[in-house]
Structure 1
């Protein structure tokens, strides 16, 4: 089997009062897009399960988890100006974390070659001890730590959400066994993700940030993939690649200013699929993060999932030359890693 999908209508129970961009209609739009459409070798849909305490504590502090459960469970309110909760949120957040863990662990065990967890709330902004940016539990970080505990020597996280994954970066920035690579709009929320943020201590060089200026599109993202992301993955040779797959870099997204199309997301997924084939026998797992225009989210998710479901990686597409601004952003990343302890970002430079 090529692709396992983990998804459930239970995720719809997490809902804010009023009009909030992180809403149940997001997953409903993806479901409609996928209904009745064949996804290549996809033959397995799996229900999520709740993450267990040991999985959460590998990433989040015990005091934060206790405070979060006490505040959120069976209640409604706001953790900050962006991050709401209702009576179902604690259960739904635990299901999201458990779903991404199962996606990663299933791929690692050989149950499927690839997997995707279509979950909400998203997770990559959640810090070890703080909720923010719609996120309470860092789903991908929890899954990466679970994969390490299950025997993966090295895990790579590629985050293409338009917002920098500050939480994932900070959780692993001193850990050389988890490579974190982010493509994001910069400067932008949450204010992190400069190219000079390269990790620290033993993890120096295992954090790679490509901060792209507003207005970048398909060719710019693919240039960053080809010059930084893919060479780093090829050199790092992880046992598993996890993708924080946000679709808010789409041109229509109301919360950002990028110009990526569904074809762009398909091409990025194809490059990661090929990298996974080379480094880790195709083990590739995606987890939904952002994406707030329903049509663009659904089209982008479908495009990426078609790649994951394909029996083999599609050929890489050339979607045109990059802009000078994107070239400068990529060069800034390469320069920042020139003298790093681990030079994964410069792996493609002779």
Structure 2
């Protein structure tokens, strides 16, 4: 079996205002970093509204469409962070980001591939049911998790989010479903200010792992061994999804963790090895943050190489 890469030029058409760290170049750098690697390359489809509606109400989906401008930029925030925008060519990028995550689940669960990486933008893990924020519009990973549960009939899934910011959206979208374990590590204190260790969700299926500024990769790996892997083993998921943000890297301008490229490779190895034990190696990874372009490219490449190693 092999590793699939789902990416598309439409992801380059979602343009944010100048100066925004979430920029077109992020995806361009990732695509370039992966262009010489032997992967099954798949065009992500546009998600249908029914898939998105498993996490977001149709009224919100319609709101997003209605805000796409004919020129310039349109702010999408509802009294949040004034960082989430649309441009005239955003629609296909947004719907393909969700559709790619859904398609990757289909490919992995239909045993076309062992695992998959979805390299699209905008990211998704901050988007709540009716609340866009932090560059995120739809909860791509949560949509994929719900698709796996509802359309493939899985008993349990797990999400592991190692982005430096708390995956508040993924938690909000999945915490009411006891079939979904949500594990998210994040620098604390840091925007959006959520993700305390005491917050376990209504069913005890949320594991928040706050990390102090300056935390290095060795400490993070030790905490994943101590807390995350046992949580995955206890939940017994049929599929593991990764919110792959690379902004915990020591060079990232938006945070202060001191992870290296090797940290992300080792965390990926730990997750894929656990997946091999629990769920036939089934892993779907979806790009989230990462705002130093060179670090993002290097980390994404190392992450995908770990996925390939696991699929061999």
TM-score after normalising by structure 2: 0.95
**Structure 1 residue 110, shift from structure 2 partner:** 0.7
Matches within 5 A, 1:146-157: 146-149=147-150, 150-157=152-159
Whole-Å separation in 1 of the counterparts to 2:261 and 2:47: 31
Whole-Å separation in 2 of the counterparts to 1:311 and 1:233: 17
Q: Which residue of 2 aligns with 1:264?
A: 263
Per-residue CA deviation, residues 295-317 of structure 1 (Å, 9 max, x unaligned), is: 1101111111001011568xxxx
Matches within 5 A, 1:244-323: 244-311=243-310
Matches within 5 A, 1:27-46: 27-36=27-36, 38-39=37-38, 42=39, 44-46=40-42
**Structure 1 residue 72, shift from structure 2 partner:** 2.1
Q: Which residue of 2 aligns with 1:182?
A: 184
SS at match of 1:70: helix
**Structure 1 residue 99, shift from structure 2 partner:** 0.4
| Contact 1:2/1:310 (<8 A) preserved | no
Return closer, same or farther for 1:73/1:62 CA change in 2, 3 Å cut-off.
farther
**Structure 1 residue 224, shift from structure 2 partner:** 1.4
Unaligned stretches of 5+ residues in structure 2: none
**Structure 1 residue 17, shift from structure 2 partner:** 2.7
Q: Which residue of 2 aligns with 1:10?
A: 10
**Structure 1 residue 171, shift from structure 2 partner:** 1.2
Per-residue CA deviation, residues 254-286 of structure 1 (Å, 9 max, x unaligned), is: 011111111000000000000100000000110
Whole-Å separation in 1 of the counterparts to 2:307 and 2:160: 15
Unaligned stretches of 5+ residues in structure 1: 314-350
Per-residue CA deviation, residues 139-173 of structure 1 (Å, 9 max, x unaligned), is: 00110000111211111000000000101101111
Return closer, same or farther for 1:6/1:74 CA change in 2, 3 Å cut-off.
farther
**Structure 1 residue 35, shift from structure 2 partner:** 2.4
Q: Which residue of 2 aligns with 1:196?
A: 198
SS at match of 2:246: coil
Whole-Å separation in 1 of the counterparts to 2:70 and 2:128: 23
Q: Which residue of 1 aligns with 2:74?
A: 77
Over the aligned positions, Cα root-mean-square deviation in angstroms equals 1.3
| Contact 2:10/2:92 (<8 A) preserved | no
The structure having more radius of gyration, on CA atoms, is: 1
Does residue 161 of the first structure (1) align with residue 170 of the second (2)? no
Q: Which residue of 2 aligns with 1:127?
A: 128
Whole-Å separation in 2 of the counterparts to 1:118 and 1:23: 14
TM-score after normalising by structure 1: 0.85
| Contact 1:157/1:181 (<8 A) preserved | yes
Whole-Å separation in 1 of the counterparts to 2:41 and 2:76: 33
Matches within 5 A, 1:308-347: 308-311=307-310
**Structure 1 residue 19, shift from structure 2 partner:** 1.9
